[in-house]
Chains A and B, each alone.
Chain A
């Protein structure tokens, strides 16, 4: 598709089960589209360079860093953000496990971390501690030292298998 400078492009996405249509600049990042256009501020911007993982969302079920995806690339696709993980105000097993295991402190990495945890548990239900550490190594947490996060994900995996 050819677009002129300043020209906007119409996109249609399904976010957390709801369809949205909007016109966006082709260069607009998905994270800014979610936060600014849809007011879904649960997804955070931590680094702008896809190294910290605070902006992790699911795009058609796969985890992506939404600061490195253009909104137009999400056209026609389904997105799940942190706001879409709990239904009827009931926490998901991962969310509950994060609370129960003291897996957060300042909370800024938490949304991305939980979305990533959902993703890895959707790929593989049973994991070793090493595997969990490897699967979240694209998500930086500066507060917790990760041990409680790893414990929470292992705990969630047990809960989901039970």
Chain B
């Protein structure tokens, strides 16, 4: 009996296909409903709040200003100090707007009413006098520090860091060729289908918070710090969560206001964002790399020098501090280049604060290095595969320490490229595209390679509990919200315990039911939570063996366990799994459970993806096919892994072609899906996804690496390359719009 490696069906789909799922807005508790009055200027002084009309309305309970809410909101939001060292940062205090508003769309007042309709009606009547100040919307302008987003910081540069390795200047001067590059990703909106939401209940002593989040335990810690309430008195429950993509590891002032209101009013208060609110609450990306590269005539890349500018928006969110510090050391990617000098800067602007989004830094780094590789290929008229082959870290160099000290664990990058080109039929596609172009069609094929870093520690928690009837509950600190990792983890545990998978329930997402946890992000859950679940299950099985030994009056060494039976080797006596479980609850020290807090470290999956693009006469590009060949370590459930490739690949189509959050002084112009184009079934490509048969394992027990973000990490580079092939033009940014194509 073995489950791992098979496409076992997702265990908990019934509730979703029958309408019995429970997202935060579906929770039925007596509660008041919050809504927000938002700033209509990008920068201004909040003068006066006219809340009298609202308070006269039937069903309106309260209208709160920043002054009132911030009496309870003591600390500011972010950064995520588990991964971000705050010391080099200049960080403004980010609470509910008080005194000044820093971006168009920022909440400046909160209305609490008996129901949603009343709250929204009342919010319409709250007038806020805001005296406009000079604002800085554009990152390039903000760098000049002429207009400051936060006067007290003295600059708009939130972070400046130098990432130097080798001697880039010398390598550049020794290079056969030098070329200037500019590479950019524009601003996106992550857009999980479930808008964010929160329900906060305060009973006078304890807070219970239902929260659409990826990180219930970190959220508890943050709420504890911000409200100065011990963690033991805060329970954060993550119900079903309708997608996150990194954007739900993001704490907002709106959410803090809901908690503050529930404490202040002593009532349960809830808020579910409208789509427009979701779109102006969470933006992502926007980074520009400008610099120079040096390479030899044979295609060897020898130097990268330049400046990376990352936009922050008006405040430093919980997660955006990651980008300026992870992008630079990941820029070398899978290639041997060792002389780099990268100045990384993070810049405040009077715009919506930016948060991490699927891939968080690796899409940016990969787009930069893959554009560089394509540039070298173009300059030398070399083939895309050949130029990469020339530069890839060789197998005999593994494990390889990259110039910034990251240790690439396992892999054979050139062999994967060779195999990938074959499996994905890249050369055949290229020939086909060329012959189509001769017939007048604008079709193109693009390839890109990636190496990414995932599986982030520091730890994950798991408990395996054997119930009296022999069924098993596995409580994990990981927090799947669509990926299906719970099914893969059940597969691993079923194999460890050699019992049918139906007898196992995987549970997560309640900070009191699960004593500790970090969460699901960074393609880490299967590797780290899966390994923790394997480890706690192994310990539980050892305990079961001891119970069997006690019961059969044998030494534990004499007991062998296989296929659900404990066998006394010498005497041939047997006890079933269920009988031992029952026994375990009847003797001394009743019960069987084992918990593990497993430390973990990063691991490095890699792969090659190919896109086929067709461009019409109006410059509208469609990705017709998307093919992927990945070494993600051991694959536990191929169908789930493929699902991640499809989903990430479709988001890559969005980033490369359609999605763009345009912001000006009047705020963000994309406030519905009629003006922000998330791919539909019509724009989504056909996928072919393959995983390397001879995989390279991570150091985790699962031997798996990670796949949650792969396609969005490498997809934009492959798609942009395909547009270049189709049109003969050059593009160094995402999205590539019809205007760009027709220009």
* A interface, CB within 8 angstroms of B: 25, 27-28, 32, 35-36, 39-49, 51-52, 54, 81-83, 85-86, 91, 95, 98-100, 102, 104-111, 114, 132-134, 136-150
Please tell me which one of the listed residues B193, B681, B685 contacts residue A46 in the complex, with CB atoms under 8 A apart: B193
Complex formed: what's the CA distance from A150 to B25 in Å?
Answer: 28
Q: Assess A145 versus B674: contact at CB under 8 Å? Given A81-B19, A83-B18, A99-B17.
A: no
Q: A107-B21, A146-B680, A146-B681 are in contact. List 16 more A-B contacts (CB 8 A).
A: A27-B117, A42-B21, A43-B19, A44-B25, A46-B275, A47-B275, A95-B18, A104-B482, A105-B484, A106-B193, A106-B481, A133-B681, A133-B684, A138-B680, A140-B673, A145-B687
Complex formed: what's the CA distance from A157 to B640 in Å?
Answer: 23
Query: Is B618 on the interface with A (CB-CB < 8 A)?
Result: no
Tell whether, in the assembled complex, residue B240 and residue A107 are in contact, meaning their CB atoms are under 8 Å apart.
yes
Please tell me which one of the listed residues A36, A39, A138, A140 contacts residue B193 in the complex, with CB atoms under 8 A apart: A140
Query: Is B672 on the interface with A (CB-CB < 8 A)?
Result: yes
Query: Is B75 on the interface with A (CB-CB < 8 A)?
Result: no
Tell whether, in the assembled complex, residue A142 and residue B687 are in contact, meaning their CB atoms are under 8 Å apart.
no
User: Sorted from nearest, which 8 A-B pairs have the closest CB atoms?
Assistant: A42-B19, A108-B242, A106-B482, A145-B646, A107-B16, A82-B19, A105-B482, A145-B650
Q: Across the two chains, which residue of chain A brings its CB closest to B652?
A: A145
Tell whether, in the assembled complex, residue A106 and residue B192 are in contact, meaning their CB atoms are under 8 Å apart.
yes
The distance from the CB of A36 to the nearest CB of chain B, in whole angstroms, is 8
Please tell me which one of the listed residues B22, B274, B650 contacts residue A41 in the complex, with CB atoms under 8 A apart: B22
- Residues in B with CB closer than 8 Å to A45 are 25, 195, 272
Query: Is B557 on the interface with A (CB-CB < 8 A)?
Result: no
Q: Across the two chains, which residue of chain B brings its CB closest to A150?
A: B681
Complex formed: what's the CA distance from A44 to B23 in Å?
Answer: 9
Query: Is B137 on the interface with A (CB-CB < 8 A)?
Result: no
The distance from the CB of A140 to the nearest CB of chain B, in whole angstroms, is 6
Tell whether, in the assembled complex, residue A108 and residue B193 are in contact, meaning their CB atoms are under 8 Å apart.
yes
Complex formed: what's the CA distance from A57 to B648 in Å?
Answer: 28
Complex formed: what's the CA distance from A136 to B682 in Å?
Answer: 8
The distance from the CB of A155 to the nearest CB of chain B, in whole angstroms, is 13
The distance from the CB of B140 to the nearest CB of chain A, in whole angstroms, is 31
- Report B184-206 CB contacts with A as 1/0, cut-off 8 Å: 00000001111100000000000
- Residues in A with CB closer than 8 Å to B674 are 49, 51
Please tell me which one of the listed residues A36, A82, A102, A150 contacts residue B640 in the complex, with CB atoms under 8 A apart: A102
Q: A-B contact count, CB below 8 Å?
A: 181
The distance from the CB of B138 to the nearest CB of chain A, in whole angstroms, is 28
Complex formed: what's the CA distance from A75 to B159 in Å?
Answer: 59
Q: Assess A107 versus B643: contact at CB under 8 Å? Given A82-B19, A145-B684.
A: no
Tell whether, in the assembled complex, residue B646 and residue A104 are in contact, meaning their CB atoms are under 8 Å apart.
no
Q: Across the two chains, which residue of chain A brings its CB closest to B678?
A: A140
Tell whether, in the assembled complex, residue B10 and residue A108 are in contact, meaning their CB atoms are under 8 Å apart.
no
- Report B242-282 CB contacts with A as 1/0, cut-off 8 Å: 11010000000000000000000000000010111000000
- Residues in B with CB closer than 8 Å to A106 are 192-194, 240-243, 481-482
Q: Across the two chains, which residue of chain A brings its CB closest to B245?
A: A142
Identify 30 residue pairs between A and B in the complex whose beta-carbon atoms are under 8 Å apart, listed by A's number. Answer: A28-B117, A40-B19, A41-B22, A42-B18, A42-B21, A47-B275, A91-B18, A95-B17, A98-B13, A98-B17, A102-B9, A102-B642, A104-B13, A104-B16, A105-B483, A105-B484, A106-B192, A107-B16, A108-B21, A111-B19, A111-B21, A140-B673, A140-B680, A142-B245, A144-B647, A145-B645, A145-B650, A147-B646, A147-B687, A149-B681
Query: Is B525 on the interface with A (CB-CB < 8 A)?
Result: no
Please tell me which one of the listed residues B245, B643, B648, B673 contacts residue A148 in the complex, with CB atoms under 8 A apart: B643
Say which size band chain B's interface belongs to.
35 or more
- Residues in A with CB closer than 8 Å to B20 are 42, 83
Query: Is B396 on the interface with A (CB-CB < 8 A)?
Result: no
- Residues in A with CB closer than 8 Å to B366 are none
- Residues in B with CB closer than 8 Å to A105 are 243, 482-484, 643, 647
Query: Is B509 on the interface with A (CB-CB < 8 A)?
Result: no
Query: Is B390 on the interface with A (CB-CB < 8 A)?
Result: no
Q: Using a CB-CB cutoff of 8 Å, which residues 611-665 of chain B contact chain A?
A: 639-640, 642-643, 645-651
The distance from the CB of B437 to the nearest CB of chain A, in whole angstroms, is 24
Complex formed: what's the CA distance from A54 to B678 in Å?
Answer: 14
Query: Is B582 on the interface with A (CB-CB < 8 A)?
Result: no
Q: Across the two chains, which residue of chain A brings its CB closest to B12?
A: A107
- Residues in B with CB closer than 8 Å to A28 are 117
Q: Using a CB-CB cutoff of 8 Å, which residues 267-312 of chain B contact chain A?
A: 272, 274-276
The distance from the CB of B303 to the nearest CB of chain A, in whole angstroms, is 38
The distance from the CB of A130 to the nearest CB of chain B, in whole angstroms, is 9
Tell whether, in the assembled complex, residue B19 and residue A108 are in contact, meaning their CB atoms are under 8 Å apart.
no
Complex formed: what's the CA distance from A43 to B21 in Å?
Answer: 10
- Residues in B with CB closer than 8 Å to A148 are 643, 646
Tell whether, in the assembled complex, residue B117 and residue A25 are in contact, meaning their CB atoms are under 8 Å apart.
yes
- Report B1-44 CB contacts with A as 1/0, cut-off 8 Å: 00000010110011111111111011010000000000000000
Tell whether, in the assembled complex, residue A110 and residue B17 are in contact, meaning their CB atoms are under 8 Å apart.
yes
The distance from the CB of A143 to the nearest CB of chain B, in whole angstroms, is 5
Tell whether, in the assembled complex, residue B195 and residue A143 are in contact, meaning their CB atoms are under 8 Å apart.
no
Complex formed: what's the CA distance from A149 to B681 in Å?
Answer: 9
Tell whether, in the assembled complex, residue A142 and residue B18 are in contact, meaning their CB atoms are under 8 Å apart.
no
- Residues in A with CB closer than 8 Å to B17 are 82, 91, 95, 98-99, 104, 110, 114
The distance from the CB of B515 to the nearest CB of chain A, in whole angstroms, is 26
Please tell me which one of the listed residues B194, B648, B687 contacts residue A44 in the complex, with CB atoms under 8 A apart: B194
- Residues in B with CB closer than 8 Å to A48 are 274-276
Please tell me which one of the listed residues B7, B26, B241, B643 contacts residue A144 in the complex, with CB atoms under 8 A apart: B643
| Candidate in B16, B115, B686 with the most chain A CB atoms within 10 angstroms | B16
- Residues in B with CB closer than 8 Å to A47 are 275, 672-673
Query: Is B116 on the interface with A (CB-CB < 8 A)?
Result: yes
Tell whether, in the assembled complex, residue A99 and residue B9 are in contact, meaning their CB atoms are under 8 Å apart.
yes
- Residues in B with CB closer than 8 Å to A41 are 19, 22, 25-26, 28
- Residues in B with CB closer than 8 Å to A145 are 643, 645-650, 684-685, 687
Please tell me which one of the listed residues A32, A52, A143 contacts residue B275 in the complex, with CB atoms under 8 A apart: A52
